[in-house]
Amino acid sequence: MNLERGEGATVQPSLPGLSIAPSAASSPRTPAPREAPGAVERPVEEPMAHPTERQRHALDGRTHAALDALLAMAEALVTTSIPSPSVETDGPGASERDAAEGITPPAHAVAQRLTELAGSVLGAERLAMASIEDATGLMRPLAVIGFTPEQEALWWAGWRPETRARDRLGPETATRLCAGETVALDAEAPPHRERLNAFAVTRLLLIPMIVHGQIVGALSLDYGTSGREFSRDEQALGEAVAQLAGLVVERDRLLRAAAEARASALALSATNRRMDEFLSIAAHELRTPVTVIKANMQMLARRLTADAGAGDGVVERRDREMAERIQRQVERLIRLVDDLVDISRIRLGRLELRPALADLGAIVREAVAEQRLSHPERVITLEADAGALPITADVDRLEQVVANYLTNALKYSRPECPVMVTVRAEAGRGVVMVRDCGVGIPPEEQAQVWELFHRVPGIEVQSGSGVGLGLGLHLSRTIVERHGGAVGVESAPGEGSTFWFALPLVRE
């Protein structure tokens, strides 16, 4: 408190709610009047020291209590949680508190303990704490102390899930508070009269809780019906306590957000693992009926071939063409099932390679030959070095990579456009390039084409049927990288694309 300085007076320190009278030693004395002659001399009464001593003890007690409370608040910044033995989940206002949107019971426990500590420091009769979202202005109750059970229940019931600071405090007060200004409210002035009179409040001090220049909440405190003014010292101490409480509240919020993020990540990881296991099981289950369909189609094709010439040539030709179309679709379905199996193995870490010494040129020639048989109407050129390109690799897997590159090139280029394949040695590596004359890939999409299930927006299939599942390139990259190689793409819109991969050559 501010004390007037008189001549020769000493100002004693004070805490909120406690005033100290000047001691006898420091107070100026008025000379005693002279006794009249013959008057009976009376002893001079010395000031009693006991009241001042009691006040000094009270001051020491209040100081120690305030320091202990401030220490507890500071310790909350370096501990995971604040012990709150006084919080009871079934206490007054519990049901209303549970209904407050977005605030968990542990958060209420931390806020309740903070409110009790702040009350100990400030010496207020009643104190409440609420959080405020800086971006939205949403205001949520956290804790309150000093009310009767009926008043506390009424306080909690006065909050709604979408309560905003402007609605509860008024636009002017909310603006000042969010700007970091401490606001003293007169309970008799609108628009606060109706709400505050129910709690027998005459004057209320609202203190913002600011962290990094943004409001995270507010403290409100009052001294009951006494209606006394808040001194500058009390306001300054309240602002310091509010800042410390704001740090604790924000830290607790960040800790809970991090815990929720970790829980979400763990849940997502578990979901992905179950999905991978499902894909693996589903792909294996699909393979059995597809294999049966393929076997029956082969038998039907042989029977149609054996019966050729026994009936109407037009009908036989139509039946054979139909059988061939069905067989091509079955082969395509088998490739999709195999890709699903491989993807599930990759994600589960179970993709096995069987490396052996092989010739990269021979692997590419075999894959090109198979694609020429599958697409006799298309032109696929091959340019390869004459010598062998020795590598250590799983031959079947690399043929799968070349087949994926070729089917993509055929699918996304016009039927009349050739697909060019090049194999050569370059800087100790064997390099395979597959070039098409399709629509090309925008630069911003080129890094994404290797991602699982990714399809470039706006690029349509130019020949053949089906758009695929976005598995082939991701699978190809994984296989090549497992062999110690690298993949890449060179493309520009309207100029086609060149997909390549490179593998280390074996030194002889």
Is residue 99's pLDDT more than 60? no
Confidence grade of residue 94 (pLDDT, cut at 50, 70, 90): very low
Which of 86, 199, 186 has the alpha carbon at shortest distance from 143? 86
Query: For 344-415, where are the E strands, in sequence order?
Result: 356-359, 380-384, 390-393
Compute the residue count for the chain.
508
User: Which CATH number is 356-504's, of 3.30.565.10, 2.40.30.10, 3.40.50.2300, 2.40.30.260?
Assistant: 3.30.565.10
* Torsion angles phi and psi, residue 207, rounded to 5: -120, 125
Bridge-based pairing of strands 356-359 and 203-211 is unpaired
Report which residue type is found at 333.
L
Question: Half-sphere exposure of 95 toward its Cβ, with a 13 Å CA cutoff?
Answer: 4
Cβ-based neighbours of 395, under 8 Å, separated by 6 or more: 356, 358, 363
C-alpha to C-alpha distance for 263 and 270, rounded to whole angstroms: 10
Alpha carbon separation from 246 to 85, 130, 214 (Å, rounded): 21, 10, 10
C-alpha to C-alpha distance for 477 and 471, rounded to whole angstroms: 10
Burial classification of residue 103, based on how many CB atoms lie within 10 Å of its CB (0-12 exposed, 13-18 middle, 19 or more buried): buried
Q: Averaged over 172-181, what is the pLDDT?
A: 90
Check residue 282 and give its pLDDT: 64
Question: What tokens were used for 266?
Answer: 């763990």
Q: Averaged over 434-448, what is the pLDDT?
A: 91
Confidence grade of residue 14 (pLDDT, cut at 50, 70, 90): very low
* Torsion angles phi and psi, residue 308, rounded to 5: -60, 135
Which of 104, 162, 157, 107 has the alpha carbon at shortest distance from 137? 162
Q: Which of 133-142, 170-179, 338-347 has the lowest mean pLDDT?
A: 338-347
Which of 198, 197, 196 has the alpha carbon at shortest distance from 220? 196
Mean pLDDT of all residues belonging to the chain: 75
Is residue 7's pLDDT more than 80? no
- Can you name the CATH fold of 263-347? Helix Hairpins (1.10.287)
Residue 416: Cβ within 10 Å count? 10
Alpha carbon separation from 480 to 89, 341, 389, 400 (Å, rounded): 59, 18, 16, 11
DSSP state for residue 187 in the 8-state scheme: T
DSSP line for 269-338:
HHHHHHHHHHHHHHHHHHHHHHHHHHHHHHHHHHHHHHTTTSS-HHHHHHHHHHHHHHHHHHHHHHHHHH
55 three-class SS? helix
Which of 226, 138, 231 has the alpha carbon at shortest distance from 184? 231
Give the highest mean pLDDT range of 98-102, 260-264, 305-309, 342-346. Answer: 260-264
Higher pLDDT, 18 or 248: 248
pTM over 0.85: no
Give the highest mean pLDDT range of 226-235, 320-329, 443-452. Answer: 443-452
Question: What tokens were used for 497?
Answer: 């694309």
Contacts 24+ apart (CB under 8 A), 93-101: 93/144, 93/152, 93/153, 93/155, 93/156, 93/157, 96/153, 96/156, 96/157, 96/159, 97/141, 97/156, 99/161, 100/140, 100/141, 100/156, 100/159, 100/161, 101/140, 101/161, 101/162
Confidence grade of residue 98 (pLDDT, cut at 50, 70, 90): very low
Cβ-based neighbours of 275, under 8 Å, separated by 6 or more: none
Bridge partners, residue 222, by sequence: 126
Is residue 342's pLDDT more than 90? no
Instruction: Tokens 């390869």: give the residue.
Output: 384
User: Which CATH number is 59-262's, of 3.30.450.40, 3.40.50.2300, 3.30.1370.10, 3.40.640.10?
Assistant: 3.30.450.40
Angle separating helix axes 105-122 and 232-306, nearest 10 degrees: 170
Residue ranges of the domains in the chain?
A: 59-262, 263-347, 356-504
C-alpha to C-alpha distance for 425 and 406, rounded to whole angstroms: 20
C-alpha to C-alpha distance for 319 and 335, rounded to whole angstroms: 24
Nearest 5 degrees, angle CA 84-CA 90-CA 94? 95
Question: What tokens were used for 257?
Answer: 């957000």
Which of 392, 394, 283 has the alpha carbon at shortest distance from 347? 283
Which of 391, 66, 487 has the alpha carbon at shortest distance from 240? 66
- Please write the tens of the pLDDT for every residue from 17-73: 333 333 333 334 444 444 444 444 444 444 444 556 665 665 555 555 665 666 565
